[in-house]
A and B are shown apart, each in its own frame.
Chain A
Amino acid sequence: MKKNDDKKAPQLLQGNEAIALAAIEAKIRFFAGYPITPSSEIAELMSRELPKYEGKFIQMEDELSSMGAIIGASIAGLKSMTATSGPGFSLMQENIGFACIAEVPCLIVNVMRGGPSTGLPTSPSQGDIMQARWGTHGDHSIIALYPDSVLESYELTIRAVNLSEKYRTPVILLLDEVIAHMRESVILPQKEELNIIERVKPDIPPEWYVHYKDSPDYITPVANFGEGYRFHITSLAHDKYGFPTRKIDEVKTMMDRLRNKIYDNLYDIIQIESYKMQDAEIAIFAAGVVARSAKEAVRIARKQGIKVGLIRPLTIWPFPDYDVQRMLEKCKDIIIAELNQGQLYHEIERVWSERTKSRLHKLQRYDGLILSSEQILSKIAEVK
């Protein structure tokens, strides 16, 4: 892989490589990680590329420390990321919670593999969808994005970094093992086409500075360590200055803030793809690599005269409730296709109500292979 100066020239890239390249473009300048299949290529590439941009790469002793190091670097002013897979993602949960409560921007790439435990290290699975949402303890909100191609891995990495900086939150990029290792010919966006969000620094005297300042859209300037604004950051519940508190009004304010900064900005955060849904009677709900098979199945079924469409979430957390509700009201049959035992199905079921009258159908695979378009087609034939 080399940087191609020729405009619009296609490159042959892996999903993992696209993520590393996008991270550099998004001005990620710190990476801490620990080797794990199937995400290691991201760490390898970052170790090679970062020093060229005066960025820092460090291979830590485990994933607990990788997560700690990227939070530390982010607090000190560098855009930071790590990449891992299931077992490592489990270890990172502790400090993902820290990044949530302390509102530290950072990117965590989780290339999903079969679980639980060591599971299937080299096989695809969508088993970490719920872990991305609820992996760390306690009430919290999280943003998780989910690409379905190499090019989209590039685009969503940049978007993930932007959202994390804007909303001061950890953002998780979920990736299917297949996308991580698959090579596709892609034309990467030109630099001038990219919108890179930088952290807004305060321009007020240090004694006026409030680290968790109230603001209607929750977007406020943030000071970094070592730049003249001396403040406290803690893993404890805290007041708006960052100091520990147990006062019930201050704790509630903090907890509301953590939720509302995400849920008041759904319009900005949620992205879905709606494919041939205008007249669809059957809808497939699928994410990542399964959506690719589903798209193929939709194309074939349409040729056979079956009115079927696809809804694909690019933002998986917060869950696109509104779009799912519209789908449930519009279509009589919904096929939820996924590489797990029903993690997306449960979410759709939560949004479903008597009023929507649609029927939900499960299509699940969790044996280490992906769902093929044939399998999805036969499911369409079954529910039709």
Chain B
Amino acid sequence: MREQIPQKIIHKYLRQKKHFPHVWCSGCGIGIVLGDIIRAINLLDIKKDDIAMVSGIGCSSRMPVYIDVNTLHTTHGRAITFATGIKLAKPNMKVIVITGDGDGTAIGGNHFIHAARRNIDLTVILINNNIYGMTGGQASPTTPVGDIATTAPYGVIERNFDICELAIAAGASFVARTTAFHTIEAKKIIAKAISKQGLALVEIITQCPVIYGRFNKKGSAVDMLKWQRDNTIPVESISKMPEEKKKGKIVRGILVNKDIPEYTKEYEKLIENVSKPQNYTKTHKKI
């Protein structure tokens, strides 16, 4: 008699044929994030048909091909714009954008802030590995000052973006940060972000041991994961901590979670108003 074959959650969501082994280097954190996203989707029990995953270009943006939902791999920096079109065309779909530090905040920076300003219901998972990995290790907007990259052989002199601060300033309704190390926390945060009505940004700090880590002597993947553990502090405990312990540490957790009008819902209200003749005369201005 055949024994029951154990099934992992990820097996329900991955496309098994043809696509493995994946493109990511050994020790890379992006696969961990894919696992987090799958577990979050499973936790929320959303139908696969109702999810669109949209990405740009880069290491992180290769993720959609592996997951069995409606998947779209677009041009560099533009994932949010394609996602905006999908969301407006099918407002009931859960649209998840996968982007990276270069894709999302350099070439796609303008789309990023305007999506936050509009507060359109997208879940933006920004995987921050502090480098352009796929093109071989050039400096990104989040490569720390002084660190080495192939286009910064004498060390980066540009100041970095704080991605969460950027999203908060631009008006996003949900902003959170976590790391590849904190995988349980990441699952919970991603689930909350997907459930949030409005633009939800989740920055996930991940290790790139093969390129960024090697250039900057950060050690192995395990060392870099330990760094994430030791150099981040949860936002909940920040008020109880003495100043010297907070110094130089990165804050994790849900930084902003507010209820503000969401774009697709506002547009549906607009359609409803325009369709009523009595309202129509009010809203209609002759140009």
| Residues in A lying within 8 Å of B, measured CB to CB | 30, 32, 44, 48, 51-52, 54, 56, 58, 60-62, 64-78, 80, 94-95, 97-98, 225-228, 230-236, 243-244
Contacts A51-B270, A72-B86, A73-B88; A234 near B111 (Cβ below 8 A): no
Whether the Cβ atoms of B110 and A61 lie closer than 8 Å is yes
A95 to B69: give the CA distance in the assembly, Å. Answer: 23
For the complex, what is the distance from the CA of A44 to the CA of B284, rounded to whole Å? 12
11 other contacts beyond A68-B84, A72-B82, A226-B50, with CB at 8 A cut-off?
A: A51-B274, A52-B275, A65-B114, A76-B89, A77-B90, A78-B89, A98-B74, A225-B72, A225-B86, A226-B49, A244-B65
- Determine how close the nearest CB of chain A comes to the CB of B52; give it in whole angstroms: 5
How many Å lie between the Cα of A69 and that of B93 in the bound state? 15
Query: Is the Cβ of A235 less than 8 Å from the Cβ of B73?
Result: yes
Least Cβ–Cβ distance between B241 and chain A, in angstroms = 39
Residues of B within 8 A of A (CB): 18-19, 48-50, 52, 54, 57, 64-65, 68-75, 78, 80-90, 92-93, 110-111, 114, 267, 270-271, 274-275, 284, 287
Across the two chains, which residue of chain B brings its CB closest to A238?
B73
Is the contact region of chain A dominated by helix, strand, or loop, or is it mixed?
mixed
Q: Are B85 and A69 in contact (CB under 8 A)?
A: yes
How many Å from the CB of A110 to the closest CB on chain B? 19
Smallest beta-carbon distance B114→chain A, Å: 4
Contacts of A67 in B (CB 8 A): 81
A211 to chain B, nearest CB (A): 11
A200 to chain B, nearest CB (A): 18
Contact A76 B93 (CB under 8 A): yes
Report whether A61 and B65 are in contact in the complex, using a CB–CB cutoff of 8 Å: no
Q: Of A48, A56, A62, A243, which is within 8 A of B267 by CB?
A: A56
| Cβ of B284 to closest chain A Cβ, rounded Å | 7
Q: Which A residues touch B80, using CB under 8 A?
A: 65, 68
CB contacts (< 8 Å) of A78 on chain B: these are 89
A198 to B122: give the CA distance in the assembly, Å.
Answer: 29
A236 touches B73 (CB 8 A): yes
Given contacts A230-B69, A233-B72, contact A70 B85 (CB under 8 A): yes
Q: Which residues of A contact B50 (CB under 8 A)?
A: 226
Cα–Cα, bound, A233→B75 (Å): 11
- State the CA gap A279–B49 with chains docked (Å): 62
Residues on A with C-beta less than 8 A from B82 are 68-69, 71-72, 75
B-side contacts of A80, CB under 8 Å? 85
Question: Given the complex, which residues of A lie within 8 Å of B287, measured CB to CB?
Answer: 44, 48
How far apart sit A74 and B85, CA to CA, in the bound complex (Å)? 8
Of chain B, the residue at the smallest CB distance from A54 is B271
Closest beta carbon of chain A to B37's beta carbon, Å:
16
Q: Judging by beta carbons under 8 Å apart, are B89 and A233 in contact?
A: no
Q: Name the distance in Å between B202's Cβ and chain A's nearest Cβ.
A: 21
Q: Closest residue to A244 on the B side, CB-wise?
A: B65
> Would you call B85 and A72 a contact (CB within 8 A)?
yes
Bound together, the chains give a CA A73 to CA B82 distance in angstroms of 7
For A95, give its contact among B19, B54, B78 (CB under 8 Å): B78
A56 touching B89, Cβ below 8 Å = yes
Please determine whether B85 and A61 come into contact, CB atoms closer than 8 angstroms.
no
CB distance from A64 to the nearest CB of B (A): 6
Closest residue of chain B to A76 (Cβ to Cβ) is B89
Query: Total A-B pairs in contact (CB under 8 Å)?
Result: 142
**B90 pairs with A69, CB closer than 8 A:** no
Q: Once the chains bind, are B75 and A98 in contact (CB under 8 Å)? A: yes
From the candidates A76, A228, A235, name the one contacting B74 in the complex (CB within 8 A). Answer: A235
In the bound complex, do residue A65 and residue B84 qualify as a contact, i.e. CB atoms below 8 Å apart?
Answer: yes
8 contacts between A and B (CB under 8 A): A51-B275, A54-B271, A56-B267, A68-B81, A225-B93, A230-B48, A233-B73, A234-B72
Please tell me if the beta carbons of B86 and A61 are within 8 angstroms of each other in the complex: no
Most chain A CB within a 10 A radius of its CB, from B71, B93, B275? B71
Cβ contact within 8 Å between A76 and B110? no
Q: Which residues of the partner chain A approach B275 to less than 8 Å between Cβ atoms?
A: 51-52, 54
Q: Is the CB of B65 within 8 A of A225?
A: no
B111 touches A230 (CB 8 A): no
Indicate which residue in A69, A97, A230, A236 contacts B81 across the interface (CB closer than 8 Å): A69
Decide if A72 touches B84 in the complex (CB within 8 Å).
yes
Residue of B nearest to A45 (CB): B287
Among B57, B78, B93, B111, contact of A226 (Cβ-Cβ < 8 Å): B93
Q: With A and B bound together, what is the CA distance between A246 and B88 in angstroms?
A: 33
A231 and B83 within 8 A (CB):
no
Q: Which chain A residues lie closer than 8 Å to B81 at the CB level?
A: 60, 64-69, 72
- A residues within 8 A CB of B114? 60-61, 65
A72 lies within 8 A of B284 (CB): no
Question: Known contacts A51-B270, A52-B274; is A58 also within 8 Å of B88 by CB?
Answer: yes
Complex Cα–Cα for A67 and B65 (A)? 23
Contact A76:B90 (CB < 8 A) given known A62-B110, A226-B70: yes
The smallest C-beta distance from B104 to any residue of chain A, in angstroms, reads 14
Bound-state CA distance A233–B85 (Å) is: 15
Q: Which residues of B contact A54 (CB under 8 A)?
A: 271, 275
Task: Report the 6 A-B pairs with minimum CB-CB distance, sorted nearest first.
Answer: A72-B85, A68-B81, A76-B89, A73-B85, A72-B82, A65-B81
A254 to B75 Cα, complex, angstroms: 19
Give A279 Cβ to nearest chain B Cβ, in Å.
Answer: 50
Chain A residues within an 8 Å CB radius of B74: 68, 71, 95, 98, 235
Q: Which among B52, B78, B111, B284 has the highest number of chain A CB atoms within 10 Å?
A: B78
Contacts of B93 in A (CB 8 A): 76, 225-226
Instruction: Select A30's contact among B18, B71, B73, B89, beta carbons within 8 Å.
Output: B89
A228 to B48, CA, bound (A): 9
Chain B hits for A62, CB < 8 A: 110
Contacts of B267 in A (CB 8 A): 51, 56
Known contacts A94-B75, A95-B75, A226-B50; A231 and B85 CB within 8 A of each other: no
User: Out of A44, A76, A232, A243, which one reaches B85, CB within 8 Å?
Assistant: A76
Given contacts A56-B267, A72-B83, A225-B86, contact A232 B54 (CB under 8 A): no
Contact A65 B70 (CB under 8 A): no
Q: A62-B110, A73-B88, A73-B89 are in contact. Are A68 and B68 (CB under 8 A)?
A: no
